[in-house]
Amino acid sequence: MKTTSERMREIVTWVLTPGMRAFAVLLAGFAVAIGMLGGGCSSSTTNPTPRPSSSVSPTPTPSPTPTGATPTPLPQNFISISVTPSPTLDPTYGTVSGYGVLASQPTASPTSTPAPSQIITLPANQTVVFVNFDRLAAHTASLLVPASGAACSSYPSSPCFPSIFNNTNGTTGLPQGTAITVPQFSTGTIAESGGLPVLSAVYNTGPTTGIFFFGDFFGYQSNPPIRTVIIIQ
């Protein structure tokens, strides 16, 4: 029976044979390759480059545009009509009463009052509104055909106010934007005030300069007569 020493010599001799040496080299190489593959995978891992999203951002919805009628610009001139102011005796045109130029648009607070009776001067080509302040009386602003010559004997000068109201439109108003100097212009009836002044349509002073005689259909024959002269310049 072989001793332990003899068996160890036989194992060493077998391991050192050429076939076993080649197998050992192959096994070692395989182990090295396995190690390199494992290390490469752990060390070469990188985050993937993000790809652009294929989704399209929604188009922003525009804010809604306010719709509706465009507000009318504030008129440039306001003329009051009322029986309240005292008449004025003008040295050129005689008695004028009831019509006057307001400094601004009438308001409820503070409460606006009619302007003094006066000869009215307005620039050409501006907007104008007539305002009735009276609670118990309707009014108009109507262009009159002036008298002249002998018919003006009782007046300081000629031309002058006609003896009667001679506007053929009277209570029938002309369209908004009409020049107040066109023949037979009239605002038509401006109703009684219900507490707040009542405004006519918005008219224009027009391009024609000169002197124009105006009267009220309802009050021209009263005493004093509701009438004035408007000078466009």
Enumerate the domain spans of the chain: 73-233
Nearest Cα to 137, choosing from 212, 220, 75?
220
Q: Nearest 10 degrees: CA dihedral of 90, 96, 98, 99?
A: -70
CA distance 220 to 99: 12
Tell the burial category of 87 from Cβ atoms under 10 Å away from its Cβ (0-12, 13-18, 19+). middle
Give the pLDDT of residue 108.
85
Q: Residue 119 in contact with residue 168, Cβ under 8 Å?
A: no
Give the pLDDT of residue 19.
55
- The backbone torsions φ and ψ at residue 12, rounded to the nearest 5 degrees and listed phi first, read -65, -40
CA distance 76 to 102: 11
Give the pLDDT of residue 33.
47
pLDDT in tens, 124-143: 999 999 999 999 999 999 99
Give the pLDDT of residue 142.
98
Give the pLDDT of residue 195.
83
Sign, Cα dihedral of 145, 150, 152, 156: positive
Give the pLDDT of residue 121.
98
Give the pLDDT of residue 57.
52
* Residues in the chain where the model's pLDDT stays below 70: 1-72
Q: Which residue bears the tokens 């009667």?
A: 164
Give the pLDDT of residue 62.
45
End-to-end CA, the chain = 150
Report the relative pairing of strands 127-132 and 203-204 from DSSP bridges.
Answer: antiparallel
pTM: 0.69
Q: Residue 232 in contact with residue 181, Cβ under 8 Å?
A: yes
Report the relative pairing of strands 77-81 and 127-132 from DSSP bridges.
Answer: parallel
Chain center to CA of 103: 24
CA distance 167 to 142: 6
Give the pLDDT of residue 162.
98
Superfamily covering domain 73-233: Cupredoxins -  blue copper proteins (2.60.40.420)
CA distance 58 to 56: 6
Indicate the length of the chain as a whole number. Answer: 233
Scored b (16 or more CB within 10 A) or e, 141-179 reads bbbbebbeeeebeebeeebbbbeebbbebbeebbeeebb
Helix H or strand E segment including 22: helix 18-43
